[in-house]
Amino acid sequence: MDDAHVAGPEPRHLPVTDRTTLRRLPRRGSHERETIYRILDEALVCHVGFAVHGQPYVIPTTFGRIEDRLYVHGAAASRMLKTLAGGAAVCVTVTLLDGLVLARSAFHHSMNYRSVVLMGTARLVVDHAERDQALRAIVEHIVPGRSAHTREPNDKELAATSVLCLPIEEGSAKVRTGPPIDDDEDYALPLWAGEIPLRLTPLAPVPDTRLSPELRVPEHVTGWRR
């Protein structure tokens, strides 16, 4: 019996759990996998949260996604990798900033954004085939097409690297779009209001100074967009 026939929450959505119930501005929230995946796939960096003896740490890092699995990697000796591989609860948050929302009132200033918060427990990836796929997915996530133009990891590099998988099972997205929403009586004020849209844009690629001059900039670099 495949997933689509299992009773329970729509597989198209993550379940709404106590800790992923959207309490603040729930109209901006979603538990839909498609929405969550689109935000994850556009982001370059996630912020990984974990606690050690009650002290929270929030560490920025790159990541990749394969279907319903999020992968992060790092030095096997790092505190983050060791803590998460040990089964600590984790929160992974991704934030895309789309614009500054300037209202007439200071109070209604806001931002247009798309964010995802995932929760759960990560597992250390020990299977070599899964590890190799995950490392490739991380490179491809940042620069699609790049992995065909790199020297693959050797055994020494792989031994120094840990890969963690966070199953995408619990979490939510939050999205704000559109103009400022002011109080009715404030619309008459002679104050400019609107949005300053923001984009993350690539500048011209900078070749490594040690690059042999006959190497042309490949398409996956010149065509990089987000």
Q: Which amino acid is at 138?
A: I
CB 215 within 8 A of CB 203: no
Give the dihedral of Cα atoms 52, 84, 117, 59; nearest 10 deg. 70
CB within 8 Å of 169: residues ≥ 6 apart? 14, 15, 68, 120
Residues 8, 129, 210, 213: which binds a copy of itself (CB under 8 A)? Answer: 210
For 140, the token pair is 């491809």
Residues 122, 163, 164, 193: which binds a copy of itself (CB under 8 A)? Answer: 193
What DSSP character marks residue 79?
A: H
22 is an interface residue for a copy of itself by CB under 8 A? no
Measured from the CB atom, is 38 or 93 closer to a copy of itself? Answer: 93
Stretch that binds a copy of itself, among 1-9, 63-71, 123-131, 204-212 (CB under 8 A): 204-212
Measured from the CB atom, is 12 or 75 closer to a copy of itself? Answer: 75
Size of the site for a copy of itself (CB under 8 A): 91
Residues 112-141 that bind a copy of itself (CB under 8 A): 113, 115, 117, 119, 135-136, 139
CB within 8 Å of 177: residues ≥ 6 apart? 98, 112
23 is an interface residue for a copy of itself by CB under 8 A? yes
Rounded to whole angstroms, how far apart are CA atoms 72 and 42?
A: 16
CB within 8 Å of 138: residues ≥ 6 apart? 62, 63, 64, 71, 72, 73
42 is an interface residue for a copy of itself by CB under 8 A? no
Stretch that binds a copy of itself, among 1-9, 27-35, 43-51, 63-71 (CB under 8 A): 43-51
Rounded to whole angstroms, how far apart are CA atoms 120 and 126?
A: 19
Residues 134-173 that bind a copy of itself (CB under 8 A): 135-136, 139, 142-143, 146-147, 149-154, 157, 161
Rounded to whole angstroms, how far apart are CA atoms 22 and 19?
A: 8
> Cβ 178 to a copy of itself, closest distance in Å?
10
Residues 70, 92, 137, 165: which binds a copy of itself (CB under 8 A)? Answer: 92
Measured from the CB atom, is 12 or 79 closer to a copy of itself? Answer: 79
> Cβ 196 to a copy of itself, closest distance in Å?
5
Residues 5, 7, 27, 54: which binds a copy of itself (CB under 8 A)? Answer: 54
